[in-house]
A and B are shown apart, each in its own frame.
Chain A
């Protein structure tokens, strides 16, 4: 443990930026706002980079910095303190790096929006909370960040709050997250009760000597599962994933930053950070793996039939997050983090490129109204193509390395996980290339120019859109950088370099029984075989998409017709939202209406207040007649009162 006094600057700089822009932004010029937002966010990135390059060494890690005391209660204490080990270093670099790029992009994307200063302030605020989350030294600090990013997410999803759908999407995200946070909180309470601390090093040192809990549930298993409930909410896993697709109502940079690259991966980070707990709770780990695998497959199938370009990417994000959880669930935490990082590059890029498309054609998001955009926006096409290849798992791009590693590790645990992973990879490849062909491929641009007006109104882009155009360089620059990262970002995983970097975090505390079995020569063949399969399915998905959406474009409609109800179910997201509405939302709304509102609120609380007021009025109405103005009746009352007092004294005796 080495102190590092620079750590606290990293989250605090974006907070300062948010404060300045939030307070003075309304009066400032857009240039000043951009300068403030980019300076403070970029400053955080530079400090993070500087720490990573010149100060960080695995020998002296982890670093920490205690900023201030917070809670002191007997032996229990929680401080504002930051913590930097290999894991949080990776997260910090991803968050600040991708975050900074998206800040730059937002300058171009949101320039014409009236709420520009608000947007930039929220983005900086998000950076502050996200960095608090990843740099926290205890679970409570992490929880501050956890809730804070939820708040920022809410504010940014509902950024265009005059639009009903955006406002309710924000509420949905917030409420669904609250369910997950409930589980997280209970896990924290259990930790406090049984271990008396939330400080990571102290807590994990306490847990480390415990032996793994076997199939029967125990304390660590319940803590693990509750933590996973929290992760399900934040990272959009079954059954709490429903908020993420709706979150696409937010501006596209938000979708890229919060709902693809960083915030939604917080759950994966949290599970990885709690690996000491999970490694001693195999049942909880199995739950993580199953939820991850199911979500990966489930969300991918929904992605096939979506027509909104951002919705496809949203379901793709849910699916890829499932991958990460599957990796964590089979004990390959470092691989999950690896995929988290590469995913941040290519999914951030995909969203930003999609934003560039949407920007270029005046706010239209329906892929059926796109097509042929390749000639209009070659740069966007190029970078989005790279990202698609990366997410599909075509070597040697970033997604290939991490995804392949996950599949290999899943195969080590059980072939079922591997199979689900491969099927998901196939579907992923298919819907991503489908997206490419529908957006950029084909001959003609299908969007009519007549829809431009209302699209402008709803998205707040002020300038005219005669025909599709390429985005300005302030937007393309970040795209190109992310594209480069998507191409080369995977190479850090070559020779398990990335994994060994994270080893000090995951291995030190790890239980011997769960350690990765040493690879023997015979297993190399198996590894290459698995690699071949995953590349093959990716290529197959591409081929299928090419057949359906490029060479024989009339075929998809025919297939959809022949599948009938199945296709309809997929296109309607398996009616999960409707199911939740029937099972949870409507009973809650009805119960609140009839019992809480009309029963308790109106029947008991309001009635009590009204009744007491009525009673007081009636009584005083009657008493009023005593005050007749007749002097002698007053005197009579005085005399009567005196007589009563005297009578009392006579009968009861004087004391």
Chain B
């Protein structure tokens, strides 16, 4: 059986990749995908713990996260389309109307 620590390390790597992508990338869609990556990193640790401790709740949490992520993707993509229609760009640095 693969040890728990492997899963956790992979989960950490996925999460950090997501964070870095979120910070570095300028394209909104890429950032969006980075968020999904972070969520999946977390999901991985959830299921890993659930398998390790034989607890069902971790697996159920994963379903919840996936549902929320799907909903978020639906809303998020709608927003992205709306932004692109009005501003003709997906570069977040140029979407700064709220800046002081």
Interface residues of A (CB under 8 A from B): 624, 627-632, 635-636, 639
CB distance from A361 to the nearest CB of B (A): 78
A631 in contact with B95 (CB, 8 Å): yes
Are the C-beta atoms of A636 and B23 separated by less than 8 Å? Answer: yes
Residues of A within 8 A of B98 (CB): 629
B96 adjacent to A639 (CB under 8 Å): no
- The interface bits of chain B over 2-46 (1 if a CB of A lies within 8 angstroms of the residue's CB, else 0) are 000000000000000001001110100000000000000000000
> Which residues 81-100 of B sit at the A interface, judged by CB distance below 8 A?
92-93, 95-96, 98-100
Chain A contact surface mostly? helix
User: Could you say which residues of chain B place their CB within 8 Å of the CB of A631?
Assistant: 92-93, 95-96
Apart from A631-B95, A632-B92, A632-B93, what are 19 other A-B pairs with CB-CB below 8 Å?
A624-B100, A628-B99, A629-B96, A629-B98, A629-B99, A629-B100, A630-B93, A630-B96, A631-B92, A631-B93, A631-B96, A632-B24, A632-B26, A635-B22, A635-B23, A636-B23, A639-B19, A639-B22, A639-B23
Residues of B within 8 A of A639 (CB): 19, 22-23
User: Do B23 and A632 touch (CB < 8 A)?
Assistant: yes
List, sorted by A's number, 13 A–B pairs whose CB atoms are closer than 8 Å.
A627-B100, A629-B99, A629-B100, A630-B99, A631-B92, A631-B93, A631-B95, A632-B23, A632-B92, A635-B22, A636-B23, A639-B19, A639-B22
A632 to B100 alpha-carbon distance, docked (Å): 16
Residues in A whose Cβ lies below 8 Å from that of B100? 624, 627, 629
Cα(A628)–Cα(B98), bound, Å: 9
Which residue of B has the minimal Cβ distance to A624? B100
Nearest opposing residue in chain A for B96, CB measure: A629
B26 surroundings in chain A (CB, below 8 A):
632
CB distance from A641 to the nearest CB of B (A): 12
Residues of A within 8 A of B19 (CB): 639
| B23 CB contacts on chain A under 8 angstroms | 632, 635-636, 639
Specify the chain A residue showing the minimal Cβ separation from B25: A632
Q: How far is the CA of A631 from the CA of B22 in the complex (A)?
A: 10
Q: Which residues of B contact A628 (CB under 8 A)?
A: 99
Contacts of A629 in B (CB 8 A): 96, 98-100
Closest to B34 in A: A635
Q: How far apart sit A442 and B100, CA to CA, in the bound complex (Å)?
A: 91
| Alpha-carbon gap, A628 to B96, bound state (A) | 9
Give the shortest distance, in Å, between A621 (CB) and chain B (any CB). Answer: 12
Residues of chain B within 8 A (CB-CB) of A627 are 100
- In the complex the two chains form, what is the Cα distance from A636 to B24 in whole Å? 9
A629 to B97 CA separation, bound complex (whole angstroms): 8
> Could you tell me the distance in whole angstroms from the C-beta of B36 to the nearest C-beta in chain A?
15
CB distance from B8 to the nearest CB of A (A): 13
Give min CB distance, A94 to chain B, whole Å: 79
Q: Return A372 CB to nearest CB of chain B, in Å.
A: 88
Min CB–CB distance A633 → chain B (angstroms)? 9
Distance of B25 from chain A, by nearest CB (Å): 8
Centre residue among A624, A627, A628, A629 by max chain B CB count within 10 A: A629
